Structure 1
Amino acid sequence: MRFFFLLGEAFSGIRQNLSIVVSVVLVTFISLGFVGAAGLLQLQINQMKGYWYDRVEVAIFLCTETSPSSTCAAGAVTEADRQAIEDKLTSDEAEPYVKSYEYESQEEALELFQEQFANSSISDSVTAEQLPASFRVALKDPEQYEAINELFGSMNGVEVVSDQRELLEQVFSLMNMASLVAVSIAVIMLVAATLLIATTIRLSAFTRHREVVIMRLVGASKAMIQTPFVLEGLIAALLGALLASVSTWALAHYGLSGWLAEQYPSTGFIGGTEALQVIPLLFGIAILLTAVSSMLTLRKYLNV
């Protein structure tokens, strides 16, 4: 019975300060929306790392007649050089590191280049002789790139040993930066939400000061007096968290695993199931916001 009384008092305060409460809901929704977006981005980064790092390859590019590298001073790779590299790939020395490998000739490299740049005029100006042949090496442990570089980097006919992780790291660094920006914006918005919740509690305390005095005079405890005001802020914050949770789930389900997955079918995207991992965090932050706002407000404005 006491709980329903306190809840009724809280809704009474919400009606009296409806415009402020709506503002709290919207600011909390936006701020937690950024938190949800940052959480989804981190989940997506982790999934992509797990997927691509297992498939990362090391490319051993071979010298051409036009290679500018100092390791290609003798000219293009010879058939003997190429065979020596392939023999080493199958040797006991490389066995602990090499999972599998494929040879890509200059003609095959040109075909791939023309496919990638089919809509660009540059595809017609490049010849097979300008592109290096290469060995594409899949590693047993993607972290063992340096071992492959040491084994093959100084061999005759090798222009450069390239680790695809370098490109992946650049992509993931940009995604991490975007996640950091989202978190930074979320922190600013969460501070604004905290102040708005505190303002809501403060306004309720001012408009119902007489009721507070009467309750105190008849022996009501501080907890009984303060609870309705805390509930006002909590209800507003939880509504914002609910909206943010629905938006986060919809973004993952319809945006990532829906539209983006159709556009990029070769990439694994997270979906609504993974988004459920973020939702408890959003509600937890909403409760924390209310607790901090209450601490900032109740002692000062409800002492009678």
Structure 2
Amino acid sequence: MRVRLILSEVFTGLRRNASMVISVVLVTFVSLTFVGAAMLIQMQIGKMRDYWVERAQVSVVMCREDSTVPTCANGVATQEQLDTVAERLASPALSDIVRDVRYESADEAYQNLLDLYGDEYKDYVTPAQLGETYWVGLIDPGKGDVITEAFQGMEGVEAVKNQMQYLEPLFSALTVATYIAVGIAVLMLVAAVLLIATTIRLSAYARRREVGIMRLVGASNSFIQTPFILEGVFAAFIGSLLAGVAIVLGVHFGVGQYLHDRVTFITDWVDVKDAAIVIPVIVVLGLVLAALSAGFAIRRWLRA
């Protein structure tokens, strides 16, 4: 009987304040969608970082005919200089850093370029312009500077290039995008909390006679507050579910069927399994914020 009475009050409040409830649902939906999107972006950054960091290499580029750096004053790297670099890469001093080494001759580099960009580059590039390179895989990609320090300025070495230095700006830009999404989500969540509190106060004011009667007959504050809190929680729950649906659709269609086929340099994308991790988080977040804001609002109104 008590539960039935509380639920009756809840649905009465929802019916009387339908427009405000719809506003709460929409604001909660938009804000939690941003929260979920921010979480998925961060997951995607993590997947990309793990993928590329594992494959990132340091290249030790040997001198070519047209090299102009001081270490290449004698022209093309000699066999002795090539052997010196190979021996140092295989030395015990670098055994804890170097995972594997692949030597790429000028002819191999030239053929790889043609395979990648097409035969039209035959008229513009020659093997001598590419030179020889040692591609060094690292056990810990964060220690690429050790390889740079070991070979930078060495006779016969034109340059030492760490691929991670080209990837970090991309990760930084994506992280900034995440922060922007989080900032928008926080603003929307604040708006949702304020809107829920306002809705509860209006609902309480519209039913002030019923509240007064319940007080006269000895109803406890918790009994009076419960229907109002449940109204806010119900509206936030609907908004959370809509946000969950939007996230699943976005991942399935936006990522799985659109981006996956068009952005080919990313091979590991977030999927529905990742969305399944995000959805419970945003639902719980929506319910907790709604319960807290509604409870605070109705307690202040009852004390007034």
| TM-score calculated relative to the size of structure 2 | 0.90
2:189 partner letter: L
* Residue-by-residue CA offset, 1:78-131 (whole Å, 9 max, x unaligned): 232223222333333433322222222333334444555559x98854443333
Query: How far apart are 1:265 and its partner, in Å?
Result: 7.6
Aligned partner of residue 278 in structure 1, secondary structure: helix
What is the alpha-carbon distance in structure 1 between the residues aligned to residue 60 and residue 4 of structure 2?
73
1:25 partner letter: V
Is residue 2:240 matched to residue 1:241? Answer: yes
Change (3 A) 1:6 1:117: same
Map 1:93-132 to 2 at 5 A: 93-114=93-114, 116-117=116-117, 125-132=124-131
What is the alpha-carbon distance in structure 2 between the residues aligned to residue 118 and residue 177 of structure 1?
36
Does 215-224 or 42-51 show the bigger shift?
A: 42-51
Aligned match of 1:187: 186
Conservation of the 8 A alpha-carbon contact between 1:59 and 1:134: yes
Conservation of the 8 A alpha-carbon contact between 1:44 and 1:269: yes
Aligned match of 2:155: 156
What is the alpha-carbon distance in structure 1 between the residues aligned to residue 111 and residue 275 of structure 2?
40
Conservation of the 8 A alpha-carbon contact between 2:32 and 2:189: yes
Aligned match of 2:213: 214
Conservation of the 8 A alpha-carbon contact between 1:63 and 1:157: yes
Aligned partner of residue 277 in structure 2, secondary structure: coil
Q: How many residues align?
A: 303
* Residue-by-residue CA offset, 1:199-234 (whole Å, 9 max, x unaligned): 110110111111111111111111111111111111
Does 249-258 or 189-198 show the bigger shift?
A: 249-258
Conservation of the 8 A alpha-carbon contact between 1:117 and 1:123: no
1:225 partner letter: I
CA RMSD after TM alignment: 2.4
Does 27-36 or 156-165 show the bigger shift?
A: 156-165
Conservation of the 8 A alpha-carbon contact between 1:113 and 1:123: no
Aligned partner of residue 101 in structure 2, secondary structure: strand
Map 1:1-304 to 2 at 5 A: 1-114=1-114, 116-117=116-117, 125-263=124-262, 264=264, 267-303=267-303
Query: How far apart are 1:4 and its partner, in Å?
Result: 2.6
Does 150-159 or 240-249 show the bigger shift?
A: 150-159
Seq. identity, %: 44
1:255 partner letter: G
Aligned partner of residue 96 in structure 1, secondary structure: coil
1:141 partner letter: D
What is the alpha-carbon distance in structure 1 between the residues aligned to residue 117 and residue 122 of structure 2?
6
2:249 partner letter: A
Change (3 A) 1:151 1:177: same
Does 158-167 or 189-198 show the bigger shift?
A: 158-167
Conservation of the 8 A alpha-carbon contact between 2:36 and 2:247: yes
Does 172-181 or 89-98 show the bigger shift?
A: 89-98
Conservation of the 8 A alpha-carbon contact between 2:225 and 2:299: no
Aligned partner of residue 303 in structure 2, secondary structure: coil
Change (3 A) 1:198 1:129: same
Change (3 A) 1:301 1:95: closer
What is the alpha-carbon distance in structure 1 between the residues aligned to residue 73 and residue 3 of structure 2?
85
